[in-house]
């Protein structure tokens, strides 16, 4: 179905809610991530004792893109992207280490 719609020039947006298993980062519960041209991961992580929203572009087929994991927020003005969390490691595992973000 994806191939047929794409051949007709249709843009397809698929979402997938994943169970948070921080030790096992999968982008699709059915092994279908290969169908996607782009994968964006959004999740909550604990940093400095607070839940923070982070976002990262994991894949964009045929394109170079930022590999940063960034803080983001949703406001009345839309999505606001914050700093890249380059001082941290292990953010997507649920156990970040590094300098505290306040």
Look at 57 and 90; give whichever has higher pLDDT.
57
pLDDT (mean) for 12-39: 69
pLDDT of res. 55:
92
Domain assignment present for residue 88? The answer is yes
What is the H or E stretch that residue 101 is in?
Answer: none
Domain assignment present for residue 69? The answer is yes
Q: Calculate what percentage of the chain has a pLDDT beyond 70.
A: 78
pTM above 0.75, yes or no: no
Domain assignment present for residue 52? The answer is yes
Model confidence at 80, pLDDT cuts 50, 70, 90, reads: very high
pLDDT of res. 101:
47
Residue at token pair 């940093």: 47
* CA torsion angle 55 36 28 68 (round to 10): -20
For 90, the domain range is 35-102
Domain assignment present for residue 89? The answer is yes
Domain assignment present for residue 75? The answer is yes
Tell me: pLDDT of 54 over 50.
yes
Tell me: pLDDT of 102 over 50.
no
Total domains, the chain:
1
């Amino acid at each position: 179905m994806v191939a047929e719609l794409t051949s007709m020039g249709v843009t397809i947006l698929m979402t997938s809610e994943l169970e948070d298993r921080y030790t096992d980062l999968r982008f699709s519960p059915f092994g279908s991530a290969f169908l996607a041209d782009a994968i964006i991961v959004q999740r909550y992580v604990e940093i400095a004792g607070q839940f923070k929203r982070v976002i990262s572009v994991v894949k964009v087929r045929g394109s170079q893109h930022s590999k940063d994991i960034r803080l983001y927020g949703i406001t009345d003005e839309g999505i606001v992207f914050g700093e890249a969390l380059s001082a941290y490691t292990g953010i997507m595992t649920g156990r970040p280490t590094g300098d505290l973000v306040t």
